[in-house]
Amino acid sequence: MSESPVLRVRGRVLTGREEARDELWVVGGRVTFTPPAAAREVVDVEGWVLPGLVDAHCHVGLDAHGAVDDATSEKQARTERDAGALLLRDAGSAADTRWIDDREDLPRLVRAGRHIARTRRYIRNYAHEIEPDDLVAYVAREARRGDGWVKLVGDWIDRDAGDLTPCWPREALAPAIAEAHRLGARVTAHCFAEDSLRDLVEAGIDCIEHATGLTEETLPLFAERGVAIVPTLVNIATFPDLAAGGEAKFPRWADHMRRLHGRRYATVRAAHDAGIPVYAGTDAGGSLAHGLVGQEVGELVAAGLPVADAVSAAAWGAREWLGRPGLEEGAPADLVVYETDPLADVRVLTAPRRIVLRGRIVG
């Protein structure tokens, strides 16, 4: 690609919770706060500026039936990009999306490899479906394939019980998570219900996805261990429809899903108030549309998070958690510009004015 022009970004540059600047420059695809001595072409961009947003739980390369082709994966990634999500934690995909790393016009992906689930205890065609004796080996495999994360399915409907139950015995979890850590990867787990959480946290898990089953008993444990949650509230909003669809066959499960949905906001607010790190993720892919990170931030605010904390959960805070830079000197220029202040009204996050990816205006 040809050399990108110099960008002068004016307005209010939100680099962190309490930090803001009136201007930044993009030179050679990177952020600088020092005006260049000379530039042949300068393009002005004005507005309220955030680092490229983070969707900390999505699935590029996946739809409701399993892996998709490259053209569909590209469309999914573009949809995220056009919504301002320039860093994606791909929380499990059956597709090989490594080719996206070579595309300068698509978001950066942090992959968790393929889901690891118990046999017949997850969505068909999504996961490695294995038994506990194989868990360490499969965790090691996905730790080597991913970008510093491994994804377990911690609970799912047990057809014999007719409800959500844990997928893994405690004695299988601890050595598997230890092996991931030995290989330099963090581990996260899909968990809707209550019963799997203590075992996962005490086994050393780093993050829980959804976490609708948090209770007064497990909140202190999460806070003590520093275990993060990604609530995916835009996905939890689908629980009533899921319950209605499965009620005839699994009435206990349907009732449980409705109860988890009914207390979703209180659960996320209690987690935040307890000091548990909360990050914004949508669960896009599968059956949910991509490009919803702005709506997810709005859901975090609806749950009771202060606006600055909700924005951080999809911006500077999430980037720090994933080990990726924000708007700092010398960082890759991935940023989003808005018409008005997102800290005054997060609804503006759903309507980016300009999107800059790797120093180029792409939207």
- SS3 for the chain, per residue? CCCCCEEEEEEEEECCCCCEEEEEEEECCEEECCCCCCCCCEEEEEEEEEECEEEEEECCCEECCEECCHHHHHHHHHHHHHCCEEEEEECCCCCCCHHHHHCCCCCEEEECCCCEEECCCCCCCCCEEECHHHHHHHHHHHHHHCCCEEEEECEEEECCCCEEEECCCHHHHHHHHHHHHHCCCEEEEEECCCCCHHHHHHCCCCEEEECCCCCCCCHHHHHHHCCEEECCHHHHCCHHHHHHHHCCCCHHHHHHHHHHHHCHHHHHHHHHHCCCCECCCCCEECCECCCCHHHHHHHHHHCCCCHHHHHHCCCHHHHHHCCCCCCCCCCECCEEEECCCCCCCHHHHHCCCEEEECCEECC
Q: Are 191 and 206 in contact (CB under 8 A)?
A: no
**pLDDT of 332:** 96
Same domain flag for 21 and 152: no
pLDDT at 15: 86
pLDDT (tens digit per residue) in 51-64: 999 999 999 999 99
Model pLDDT, residue 1: 45
The stretch 269-285 carries a mean pLDDT of 98
Q: Which of 31, 34, 35, 22 is nearest to 4 (CA)?
A: 31
Give ∠ CA 158-162-164 in degrees, rounded to 5.
50
In CATH, what number is assigned to the domain containing residue 348?
A: 2.30.40.10
Pair 333, 300 in one domain: no
The answer to the question of residue 194 being in a domain is yes
Check whether residue 120 and residue 250 sit in a common domain.
Answer: yes
Angle, CA 16 vertex, CA 11 and CA 22 arms, to 5°: 20
- Looking up residue 185, the CATH number of its domain turns out to be 3.20.20.140
C-alpha–C-alpha distance, residues 135 and 191, integer Å: 17
Kindly tell me if the per-residue pLDDT of 166 is higher than 60. Answer: yes
For residue 266, tell me if it sits in a domain: yes
What percentage of the chain exceeds 90 in pLDDT?
Answer: 91
Neighbours of 29 (CB within 10 A): 18
* Residue whose C-alpha is closest to residue 113's, from 59, 77, 73: 59
> Do 258 and 341 fall within a single domain?
no
118 in the same domain as 63: yes
Q: Are residues 32 and 142 in the same domain?
A: no
Kindly state whether residues 32 and 126 are assigned to the same domain: no
Residue 1 in any domain: the answer is no
> Which pLDDT score is estimated for 286?
87
In a shared domain, residues 200 and 230: yes
- Same domain for 150 and 260, yes or no, is yes
pLDDT tens across 136-155, in order? 999 999 999 999 999 999 99
Residues 285 and 352 placed together within one structural domain of the fold: no
Is the pLDDT at 348 greater than 70, yes or no?
A: yes
Q: Which residues are CB-neighbours of 117 under 8 A, at least 6 positions away? A: 126, 127, 128, 129, 130, 152, 153, 156, 167
Task: Read off the amino acid at residue 112.
Answer: A
Residue 278 is assigned to a structural domain of this protein: yes
What is the domain count for the chain? 2
Residue 162 in domain: yes
Identify whether 184 is part of a domain: yes
What the block records as the tokens of 243 is 């319950």
For residue 3, the model assigns a pLDDT of 61
Same domain assignment for residues 31 and 89: no
Domain residue limits at 35: 6-50+326-361
User: What is the arithmetic mean of pLDDT over 310-327?
Assistant: 97
Do 70 and 185 lie in one domain? The reply is: yes
Looking at every residue in the chain, the average pLDDT score rounds to 95
pTM over 0.75? The answer is yes
Q: For residues 272 and 253, give the distance between their C-alpha atoms in angstroms, rounded to a whole number.
A: 27
Interval 206-235: pLDDT, tens = 999 999 999 999 999 999 999 999 999 999
Residue 343 lies in a domain: yes
